[in-house]
A and B are shown apart, each in its own frame.
Chain A
Amino acid sequence: MSVLIFIDHSEGHVKKTSLEALSYGAKIAEQLGTTAEGILLGTLSQDFDLTALGKYGVKKIYQASQESLNHLDAQLFAKIVSEAVGSTGATVVIFSNNLSGKAVAPRVAARLKAGLVAGAVALPDTTSNGFVVKKNVFSGKAYANIGLSSPIKIISLNSNSYPVKAGEGSAEIVSLSVPADAPKVKVVSTTQASGQVPLTEAELVVSGGRGLKGPENWGMIEELAKLLGAATACSRPVADAHWRPHNEHVGQTGIAIAPNLYIAIGISGAIQHLAGVNRSKVIVVINKDPEAPFFKAADYGIVGDAFEVVPKMIEAVKKLKG
């Protein structure tokens, strides 16, 4: 009986969502009176000290350090993780509910006949001998408390739902042997914006809509985002018009995010857009139309012209940051 946490990485570094998953898994282990361990498939950059992840509460990290595993193959990954669950005797497995987690966790669940809660937002309730996990449902409009009845339980944790908690400690690295299965999926090419905070992991997001009138006006959005250390996003019409790349599109048909701060500029707030951002902790709306539906979902707002308001916001942030 232990808690096994899947550690996701890209560009040689462990992702922030995995630090959340480690902190979350360690807390569950504490709740259950057991230990937390990690599993990492692939290699990290030379300067990344894997043992230091012990400070998030894991005692051991199982690593399969083949470079070929730096490309996620869901079928092979599921097999490796499932075998590790068997050999370590883990009864709870934690993934991040990100793109990697969505590819691998369901496969592991089916392979182990383990109940899966995808999109958890809180620690499980393990009192009264049950195991109940709260998750988002109805595209952020409600929560469901899901009871798991299987001996092995799998949880995919939503990003920005559990704080990273660092303490003291060092993890022992245990080498993991992997099956020599040839991947059935051949990766032909990848394109990835490097060095940027992925939108799903960003704590602060500045987003622009049709109200900005054209791609040439995104300079102020980017400047405000840069000053705040925020990622940039956009609404569907903006992505459809190719003013901004599709991977910035948040909303029902784009990606769903839950940052600490979401600043929507020139976005009216259609229900499909809200479905992708309504889990944000603080929502700020800048719109010249006082009737924009977004104001109903906002915490703070300014009814005004973005072209006048945003430059003043930039000045204020500059002043604040000195």
Chain B
Amino acid sequence: MKILVCISKTPDTTAKIAFTQNNTKFAAEGVQWIINPYDEWYALVRAIELKEKDPSTVLHLITVAAADTEPIIRKALALGGDEAIRVNADSHDSFYIASQIAEVARQGAYDLIFTGKETIDYNGSSIGGMVAELLDLPYISLATKFDLNGTVATVVREIEGGEETDEVSLPVVVSCQKGVAEQRIPNMKGIMGARTKPLKAVEPAAVEPLTSVVSFELPPAKAGVKLVPADNPAELIRLLHEEAKAF
């Protein structure tokens, strides 16, 4: 059994969002970087649990990013996994990134490919579906539960206003969200062990990106809260109805 977990580097949830170079680049100065939470807490941890259950499982991590991502990859390896592959490219085009992952996945013949539900920076929720299509595999999006019985996976996924339970034979691509696993903290043994785990850098396949960021914008600042006295909620309702025209 071979599992590939796709991870991405993102600014910390609490990072200040600002842009430079005439609003064309994210201001990365002083920003704390983390493993994208959905990739780490759900996709990676569930893969580690599967490996703990069946130690013969081979667990690889993949990221498509420049060399400065390596500390983040080591952090992921400290949680678990046998080795990591970094495709040496810097792109925000989901088709480009998915094509690189699909290329590595094709060569590695993985049974299971996990992604997080989306990254917290570009919020695309697209990589899993694209990788699945490029490999002609089924894709279960937004899973909240993942179980494996031999080569058949039982997956619960979120649907509008409810959930659906699916059965699918491996290989399959699954995007993971809350419910699939619980966040873990790496222990000292994991951190020490991660230092010597293989971290391979491979050059990207020739793929033409299909989108590019032209510019960024920040939303207009809020005017500030208008406080209504606690003894007069009727005034709040009046303001919402007449001034904000919210209902």
Nearest CB on B from A124, distance (A)? 11
For the complex, what is the distance from the CA of A124 to the CA of B123, rounded to whole Å?
19
A49 near B: Cβ within 8 Å? no
Query: Among residues 124 to 159 in chain B, which have CB atoms less than 8 Å away from a CB atom of chain A?
Result: 124-134, 137-142, 144, 154, 158-159
B52 near A: Cβ within 8 Å? no
Nearest CB on B from A107, distance (A)? 4
A-B contact count (CB 8 A): 275
Nearest CB on A from B143, distance (A)? 11
A127 near B: Cβ within 8 Å? no
**Quick check: B126 and A185 within 8 Å, CB to CB?**
no
B185 near A: Cβ within 8 Å? no
- Interface-side segment among A28-36, A160-168, A281-289: A281-289
Partner of A190, one of B37, B127, B164, B225: B164
Residues in chain B near residue A52, CB distance under 8 A: none
A10 near B: Cβ within 8 Å? yes
**Quick check: A313 and B132 within 8 Å, CB to CB?**
no
Query: Among residues 220 to 247 in chain B, which have CB atoms less than 8 Å away from a CB atom of chain A?
Result: 222-223, 225-231, 233-234, 236-241, 244, 246-247
Residues in chain A near residue B30, CB distance under 8 A: none
Partner of A107, one of B139, B214, B247: B139
**Which residue, of A74, A108, A193, has the highest number of chain B Cβ atoms within 10 A?**
A74
B197 near A: Cβ within 8 Å? no
Closest to B177 in A: A253
**Quick check: B140 and A308 within 8 Å, CB to CB?**
no
**Quick check: A110 and B141 within 8 Å, CB to CB?**
no
**Quick check: B163 and A191 within 8 Å, CB to CB?**
yes
Partner of B162, one of A139, A145, A193, A254: A193
**Quick check: A106 and B129 within 8 Å, CB to CB?**
yes
Q: Contacts A247-B158, A253-B178: A295 and B225 contacting too (C-beta < 8 A)?
A: yes
A272 near B: Cβ within 8 Å? yes
Residues in chain A near residue B93, CB distance under 8 A: 115
Q: Contacts A107-B130, A146-B213: A198 and B160 contacting too (C-beta < 8 A)?
A: yes
Closest to B211 in A: A115
B188 near A: Cβ within 8 Å? no
**Quick check: A281 and B125 within 8 Å, CB to CB?**
no
**Quick check: A189 and B244 within 8 Å, CB to CB?**
no
**Quick check: A189 and B165 within 8 Å, CB to CB?**
yes
Partner of B17, one of A115, A141, A190, A297: A141
**Quick check: B129 and A204 within 8 Å, CB to CB?**
no
For the complex, what is the distance from the CA of A117 to the CA of B122, rounded to whole Å?
10
**Quick check: B212 and A102 within 8 Å, CB to CB?**
no
The 5 A-B residue pairs with the shortest CB-CB distance, nearest first, are A304-B230, A106-B129, A192-B162, A115-B210, A261-B246
Q: A139-B120, A299-B226, A313-B233 are in contact. List 18 more A-B contacts (CB 8 A).
A: A75-B132, A78-B133, A98-B160, A106-B124, A106-B129, A108-B133, A110-B98, A110-B129, A137-B121, A144-B214, A144-B215, A145-B214, A145-B216, A146-B212, A186-B166, A249-B178, A285-B225, A301-B227
